[in-house]
Amino acid sequence: MRRDIVIGIIILAMVAGLIYWFRRSQQPRPAISTPTPSAEEEIERTFNLTIPDNLERADLGNVAGKEGTGLATRGFENGKFTLTVLANLPDVTSGTFYQVWLVKDGTNLSLGKMGIAKGGYLLEFSSNKDYSDYKDVLVSEEKVFDLKVESRILEGSF
């Protein structure tokens, strides 16, 4: 009789173990989250380049509800100001283009049209004047190359 009780307990333990295993296998497993790459990492990967550490950086976020990210870098060395804007943006529609602006106290300074580069759009600007006091960068979509911002796409600040 004692042997039957021990066998019964072993069988009950095995059945309980199987029920536990089955229920646990039916539960959804938590998703493994992967870190989202920063705008800088995404731009470096898109354009296949590395941003030098000695430059100031500004992530450019989308403000128009469209696709796109960007990165602006700037530096002032040996009397020369340089600014580079890299943007991962959709192709422009016929008759439009992307234009880059520096902004200070509500004043917009046009730096020119962005050109097509491997993986996106690029503008490289240099000047003997130091524009480091312009803290904001803006990328707009334009139909007319003038001094008026038409449609804001990306914005960021140093």
- Domain membership of residue 137 as a residue range: 39-157
Residue 110 lies in a domain: yes
**Whether pLDDT at 21 is above 80:** no
Residue 112 lies in a domain: yes
Chain centroid offset of residue 10 CA: 58
Mean pLDDT of the region 132-139: 96
d(CA 133, CA 149): 20
Residue 27 lies in a domain: no
Residue 85 lies in a domain: yes
Q: What is the pTM of this model?
A: 0.69
N- to C-terminal Cα separation, the chain: 83
Per residue in 86-120, pLDDT (tens digit) is 998 999 889 999 999 999 998 999 999 999 987 78
CATH number for the domain spanning 145: value is 2.60.40
Neighbours of 139 (CB within 10 A): 29
User: How many structural domains are present in the chain?
Assistant: 1
Per residue in 27-76, pLDDT (tens digit) is 676 665 555 555 566 666 666 666 667 788 899 988 878 788 899 999 99
